[in-house]
Amino acid sequence: MSDTFDVRASVEQLHIWNGPLEVDYEVLDGTGEVVAEGRSDYQGSLVFRELTPGSDYTLRLADDPEDLTDMLEVMSIEGSLPDASFYEDQTLQVGNGYLTTRDGTQLSYFLSLPGPIEDGPYPTLVNYSGYSPGRPGREIGGAAADFCGIYPILCDAPDFASGLIGGLMGYAVIGVNLRGTGCSGGAYDYFEPLQLLDGYDVIEVVSRQDWVLHNQVGMVGLSYPGITQLFVARTRPPGLAAIAPFSVIADTGSSTLVPGGIYNNGFALQWIEHVLNKAEPYGHGWIQDVVDAGDTVCEEHQLLHSQKLDAIAKALDNPYYTDEVARPVDPTSFVHEIEVPVFLTGQWQDEQTGPHFPALFDKFTSSPVTRFTAANGVHPDGFAPQVLTEWSTFLDLYVARRVPRIGAAFDLLAPIFIEEVFGDDLSLPPGRYEDYGTWEEAAAAYEAEGDVRIIFESGAAEGIVPGAPEGAFEATFDRWPLPSTVATRWYLQPEGGLASALPPAAGGSSAFEHDPEAGERGTLASGSVNPPQPDWAYAQPLPGSALSFLTEPLAEDLVLVGHGSVDLWLQSTAADADLEVTITEVRPDGMESIIQSGWLRASHRALRDDATELRPVKSHYEADIAPLEPNLWTEVRVEVMPHGHVLRAGSRLRLVVDTPGDSMARWRFLLSDFDTPPTYTLGHDAEHPSSIALSVIPDVEVPTERPPCHALRGQPCREYVPLDEVR
């Protein structure tokens, strides 16, 4: 091997570090032909990606052809799986350490056991992400610090909430940083195949430890460590018992990064930028502390971090759905490959990952047990008590394989953390299975229940601070879409009406002008959405920039749960149109609450083969992009994102159509750049009957009174003002 630089052969990659700065390298195949060239960075590092697997590569400095490495074997994905002994021979210690993946890269971890190692084995949970799960433990502050001497995990706590909660439940918990992040080796790339193989290796190394009960582990986490579970589980590591992802995306592209074909340059691009910044050398401030304390392994690992792949540039360079780039990071296309029990939750108004998560619910066709929970609310609400008790039940059944129980520490301390996060002293619901005699009996009872749990009107439960995450009532269903769903349609009418009857022959049309500033506006004035009463700034639609359609007061309660479709007959003065549709409840007390929105760039209107009346799924393939013929009628279907809401008798359903913006707390929209703002005209006559179809659930009994408008968590509330009266 060369003495000038260090090199590691990997899966479809070659890694170079500790080499000269900013010099050119060449990769040669067995014939001596140069098949790849690259230049090292300011740290003397370089990663060659997407190399064809083979065992006859050599590497050299371009200006020193004689400085040639020995033969290097670039592994294939299929051929990279090591022998079982590779996993069995690794021993993990409590606290910080490193485990080794199949290509020799070391990943940093932090491990906490609920008791002495000799008292094990313990049920075990894994958190795997690019945040800081491998960070050294720290003492918990606040009110919980008083219990540090009783519960040791509070004195040396992991840097991920699911680990702290799991530890209090009696689980061993281990957090592992993705390659290229924290103190882990390698270079970061957004859900590249190598990152998934690392996840497989993590599960197999951890599950083979002597202190792991049943030699199988569960995966846990919210948001980023929730999403990673979907990717790792599809690789089917034998040591994986179950996954429990909270607040995840349905697909990377069309539902979160590019909703309806329009870039979300708010949270989505900000999150990618944040992760990339943290994947820089010493991107997390705590890394320097670890290195200063003498961790030379962490120090050397920073050398390859500068070779991270720019996911922002990759996203901007791939504006359309492709089977090569988009499909591998689209969970809707692969979660059917997951073969372990799944517990997945999300919120309809999630300001970060978005409301599209239920599009996964019917895709887990190979999982033996599935449990899905959906509620109105915001991103962190997976850690609300109404979810945590069920989460604990699931983990006890499918990871610990024991009769579910709420441990004393969890029961005592969880409310302290919950109050700090959510602003109210919410109590944990009682466990439902503690009286069963055996695990088999409890599991059979659990599996006899419906798969889909819908929590209605979170924030409006009796006896809580309005807006805190606890539902007023709930219902359980066998599957998604809910089996009792009735597709119910209302038609746009002249003079702003919305009714079940077709519009009249001479119903005419209505028009509004594109608002080029709307994309940069949201519904949150300042602060966070987490408190019971956020600082909402839910603006009124403006005359000339929006259209509004309103039903008569409802004669009976209307329960909505599912997807929806706003089917518009559209004319545009330009060759495209950026559209937003929003449904709201207008209440008898004069207040108005947002229910849900949807977005579409009209040139992306082509439907996939699996589109339905209630879910107009788009293809987003470049070949399907079709500009509008200016001033000609075109039918355009805009998906209303999944939602769940109760409109009681006397309320009215409102549809607002305008330019994307003013609808999400942290999403923003990179709108089309028009020389002159175009005018959009919607038809509402017999020949052009624009309409909205929603998922109505007729068999849900509503047991509670109408809640205060401001109590509905995640759903901004404002005074209702007719569009023509807005000033």
- Which tens digits make up the pLDDT trace of 466-482? 999 999 999 999 999 99
Host H or E run for residue 692:
strand 691-696
Q: Is the pLDDT of residue 512 over 70?
A: yes
Q: Please, which pLDDT band fits residue 143 given cuts at 50, 70 and 90?
A: low
- pLDDT tens digits, residue range 1-38? 567 899 999 999 999 999 999 999 999 999 999 999 99
Residue 187 within a domain? yes
Residue 576 within a domain? yes
CATH number of 634's domain: 2.60.120.260
pLDDT for the residue 424 = 66
Instruction: List, in order, residues 6 or more apart from 612 with CB less than 8 Å away.
Output: none
- How large is the average pLDDT for residues 278-285? 95
One domain, residues 27 and 104: no
Q: Is the pLDDT of residue 419 over 90?
A: no
Which H, E and C letters describe 507-546, residue by residue? CCEEEEECCCCHHHCCCEEECCCCCCCCEECCCCCCECCE
CATH number of 314's domain: 3.40.50
Please give the distance of CA 182 from its chain centroid, rounded to a whole number: 21
- pLDDT tens digits, residue range 73-106? 999 999 999 999 999 999 999 999 999 999 999 9
Residue 443 within a domain? no
Q: Is the pLDDT of residue 304 over 70?
A: yes
Tokens of 70: 């020995």
Instruction: List, in order, residues 6 or more apart from 547 with CB less than 8 Å away.
Output: 496, 510, 511, 512, 656, 657, 658, 682, 723
One domain, residues 41 and 56: yes
Please give the distance of CA 319 from its chain centroid, rounded to a whole number: 20
Positive or negative torsion for Cα 462, 466, 469, 471 = positive
Q: Which of 187, 201, 215 is nearest to 302 (CA)?
A: 187
Of 256, 290, 318, the last residue of a domain is 318
Q: Is the pLDDT of residue 432 over 90?
A: no
**E runs forming strands in 223-286:** 240-246
Q: At CA 519, angle to CA 610 and CA 493, rounded to 5?
A: 60
Of 79, 104, 136, the last residue of a domain is 79
pLDDT for the residue 218 = 98
- pLDDT tens digits, residue range 558-614? 999 999 999 999 999 999 999 999 999 999 999 999 999 999 999 999 999 999 999
Host H or E run for residue 54:
strand 54-61
Residue 600 within a domain? yes
Where residue 180 falls (left for φ over 0; alpha for ψ -120 to 50; beta otherwise) is left
Q: CA-based diameter of the chain, in Å? A: 86
Tokens of 201: 């290796």
pLDDT for the residue 420 = 66
Q: Is the pLDDT of residue 407 over 80?
A: no
- pLDDT tens digits, residue range 482-501? 999 999 999 999 999 999 99
One domain, residues 158 and 226: yes
**Residue ranges making up the domain that contains 75:** 6-79
- How large is the average pLDDT for residues 391-411? 89
One domain, residues 75 and 98: no
One domain, residues 646 and 515: yes
Q: How many domains does the chain have?
A: 3
pTM of the model: 0.96
pLDDT for the residue 409 = 67
